[in-house]
Amino acid sequence: MYFNLALQNVKKSYKDFLIYFLTLAFSVCLFYTFNSFQAQEAVLDLNASQHDVLVSIQQLIKILSFIVAMILAFLIIYANQFLIKRRKKELGIYTLLGMPKHNISRILIYETFMIGLISLATGIIFGILASQLLSVITANMFEVTLNYRFIFSIDAMIFTIIVFSLIFIVIMFFNSLSLNHYKLIDLLTANRKNETLKIKNIWLSVLLFIISIGLIGYTYHYALSKGIDALFHIPMIAACGISGTVLFFMSLSGFLLKFTQCSKQIYFRKLNMFVLRQINSSINSNFISMSVVCLMLLFSIGALATGSNLNKTINNTIKTSTVYDYSYTNSNQERPIEQIKEDLHVDMSMIKEDFFVHEYEADQSFETLTPFIKDNSIIQSANQMDEPYTVLPLSTYNQLRKDRGLNEVDLKINEAHIFTSSDMMTTIIGDIIDAHPTLHLYGHDVTITNDDFDYIQGGTTIQTAAFIVTVVICDDLIPNDLIPLNSYWNVKLNDPDQQDQFLEKMNEAVNAYQDTLAQDENSAYHTFSSETANTVKENSKGTAVLLTYIGIYLGIVFLIASAVILALQQLSQASDNVARYQILNKIGAEKRMLSHAILLQMAIYFFMPLLLGVIHSIVGIQVVNIIIQVFGESDIFGASMIAGSIILAVYGSYFLVTYWGSKRILLK
């Protein structure tokens, strides 16, 4: 009997369960999709190194999934509370008719079981479909062949079922506990309780609103002025930003009300007066949750945009960092790299061509460049003011350009060319180029003559900013006895597919060379690094995939959390406001006018946190973008478009469902 009663309740109230079901299905789908990551290896043509990267990503996602599970558990319990609140009167009637509370708890358990089972099955089905798309995206990001066939991860399904079954068990226990806590009078009169206003003085709201705008503006200025150093000032930035956000939503409703009252034409138009009073009551009572939602949206937008941006940035950098099949970098000042090559007894039969790059320290520091730089905060934050910038011979620079298909640069004896391999130094290089300064290098005056520049790396390397600020001068100006700061031995092989074999031979030769040096007490330890184009690509792409998926995973979770909190609050408000809309209907308000009032209230409530979150994220992403530029040239606009599309789809879906649900409750 109780099971049939629960079944009838679910059938009868399926519209009330829609947000709850949507949240559950979304959560299950997302959870299964990302935990099925390992199964994608079956359809991807990966080598051993890429396989290791994929395993590392899966392990990290597993760890993150426990955090995500806790967030989703909170959301589901929060959504369940909405259902309990909506049905308090119904549960009170059961109690009034003599049904024991343990039997009412049994009905709730049956309902939770049915909704959980349906949503779990639906979420896994859509998760399986989404995982097929994820495998295509992964193959594209790794740039490997996709041997597509339908993939299904039994491990991901079992893990998902276990996690959400535990969540449902907690909900069942929570429902029973809540029911025993309520008194009969609380159940029967639940829909008569009103919100408690936190700020009753409208002028106080206006004052607090102005203070909040000032505090938020100060936070933006402080974060942007610190540049890359903003990372070390996060506590201060967070404290000011959170305080400003809380004050903003605490005072927003009163400010909107007072601002609109100044225009009688707008205030008394249609039901605007009623809507603004409703908003004033709603936001004033829930400003903490709206502040939390705004900050979660900030994190969501930032995670989605940054993840996508990092992927594009790293992929663009790979093209400029893998010109050579193999590069050997030497930082040892005692032995020239040409001599080391001879000592290694390299097998030259595999080498098509090779050449050496020598980078030298200037006899001037970065401080001598500061008069020409409008903002030198990046150099200051890196503590490089007293460090020398670097110099490259013209012949070497032209060889690097030639290998990249670029035209050679012609310089006179008193001319110089400046460039960088770091995107974050673009502004600084641009300022110096605009000034065309004359520098005094190694006893000679040279003038910067170039009007633009290209990003050039010294060799194939995982290091994205090998040349921070580098000046190119004629070879004859560099002293013959000057010891290089860094040297690169760049190699192109006869067969680029033999990079792994060549690297293995080089590692054996280097190890033997290190053993020889260790036996000589007068020899310094050999400091070097070596990379092949394949290892740089694989490591870089692994990092790109890892950061992208983490950003998307966490970003969507926080996006769903934000939308669910707002949706459930508005549906709860709608349940409490039925009597008010009935009165409006009785005094002659048209249904079209009532629908417009509901839409306006939903739009303000949903999009004010989103609007402030977007503004926060614009500033936050600019700060993060400075750090991203360490990896190479970034495309923040394209990444923001991707993040915007995801937000529009998920957040917009919850908005439409909430509007439809609230309209049904209020106008039925």
Q: Is the pLDDT of residue 195 over 50?
A: no
505 vs 47, more confident: 505
Helical packing angle, 636-667 and 578-586, nearest 10°: 70
Query: Is the pLDDT assigned to residue 632 strictly greater than 80?
Result: no
Out of 28-42, 109-123, 405-419, 643-657, give the one with best mean pLDDT: 405-419
> Can you list the alpha helix ranges (DSSP code H) found in 335-479?
337-344, 377-381, 394-403, 426-435
Q: Give the C-alpha distances (Å, rounded to integers) separating 530 from 220, 339, 486, 510.
A: 42, 16, 13, 10
Q: Residue 304: which H helix or E strand, with range? A: helix 287-321
Least confident of 90-99, 245-254, 292-301: 90-99
Query: What does the buried/exposed string (b/e) look like for 183-214 if buried means 16 or more CB atoms within 10 Å of the residue's CB?
Result: eeeebbebeeeeeeebeeebeebbebbeebee
What pLDDT is recorded for position 196?
Answer: 47
Q: What is the pLDDT of residue 65?
A: 85
Beta-carbon contacts of 415 under 8 Å, excluding residues fewer than 6 positions away, are 446, 447, 449, 474
pLDDT of residue 473: 93
Residue-wise burial string across 503-514, b where 16 or more C-beta atoms lie within 10 A, e elsewhere: beebeebbeebe
Q: How far apart are CA 396 and CA 382, in angstroms?
A: 27
Convert the pLDDT of each residue in 304-326 to its tens digit: 877 767 767 776 677 777 889 99
pLDDT (0 to 100) of residue 397: 94
CA proximity to 394, closest of 402, 386, 385? 402
**Of 607, 637, 615, 613, nearest in space to 625 by CA:** 637
Note whether 279 and 604 are within 8 A (CB): yes
CA atoms lying within 13 Å on the CB side of residue 190: 21
Residues 361-404 have pLDDT tens digits of 998 888 888 888 877 666 555 556 678 889 999 999 999 999 88
For residue 70, what pLDDT is reported? 83
Calculate mean pLDDT across residues 5-24. Answer: 67
- Cβ-contact 505, 464 below 8 angstroms: no
Lowest mean pLDDT among 185-194, 247-256, 287-296, 338-347: 185-194
pLDDT at residue 595, as a whole number: 84
Which of 102-106, 137-141, 231-235, 580-584 has the lowest average pLDDT?
A: 102-106
pLDDT in tens, 84-105: 666 666 666 766 667 776 676 7
Q: Is the pLDDT of residue 218 over 80?
A: yes
Q: What is the pLDDT of residue 178?
A: 66
- Span 272-287, pLDDT tens digits: 777 777 776 666 667 7
Task: Give yes or no for a contact between 328 and 367, defined as CB atoms under 8 angstroms apart.
Answer: no
State the pLDDT at residue 387: 80
Per DSSP, the residues of 391-426 read EEEHHHHHHHHHHTTPPP----TTEEEEEBS-GGGH
What per-residue confidence (pLDDT) applies to 641? 77
Kindly state the tokens that stand for 445.
């005056």
* Integer CA distances (angstroms), 652 to 130, 302, 304, 386, in order: 20, 18, 16, 52
d(CA 125, CA 150): 13
pLDDT at 475: 92
Q: Rounded to an integer, what distance in angstroms lies between the CA atom of residue 238 and that of residue 189?
A: 41
Confidence of residue 409 (pLDDT cuts 50, 70, 90): very high
Instruction: Look over the chain and give the mean of its residue pLDDT values, rounded to a whole number.
Output: 78
Determine the Cα–Cα distance for residues 68 and 74; give it in Å rounded to an integer.
10
Torsion 344-348-349-355 (CA) sign? positive
CA gap 85, 569 in Å, rounded: 11
Measuring CA to CA, which residue among 435, 457, 459, 461 is closest to residue 448?
435
Per-residue pLDDT at 501 exceeds 90 = no
pLDDT for the residue numbered 194: 46
Q: What is the mean pLDDT of residues 547-568?
A: 83
| Interstrand relation of 388-393 and 470-473 (parallel, antiparallel or unpaired) | parallel
> Over 50: is that where the pLDDT of 81 sits?
yes
What is the distance of C-alpha 70 from the center of its chain? Answer: 20
pTM flag (> 0.85):
no
CB 32 within 8 A of CB 131: yes
**Gyration radius (Cα) of the chain, Å:** 32
Range among 212-226, 333-347, 530-544 with highest mean pLDDT value: 212-226
Residue 363 CB contacts under 8 Å (≥ 6 apart), including other chains: 388, 441, 442
Confidence of residue 54 (pLDDT cuts 50, 70, 90): confident
Tokens, residue 375: 């903002």
Percentage above 70 pLDDT, the chain: 76
Give first-to-last CA distance, the chain, whole Å: 30
CA 658 to chain centre: 27
Tokens representing 275 are 């809507």
| Range of weakest confidence among 115-124, 466-475, 637-646 | 637-646
Query: Per the structure block, which two tokens stand in for 10?
Result: 């679910």
Residues 6+ apart with CB under 8 A from 199: 205, 208, 250, 251, 254, 284
Query: How far does CA 14 lie from the centroid of its chain?
Result: 35
Percent of the residues in the chain that have a pLDDT greater than 90, as a whole number: 10
Q: Which two tokens stand for residue 485?
A: 């700061």
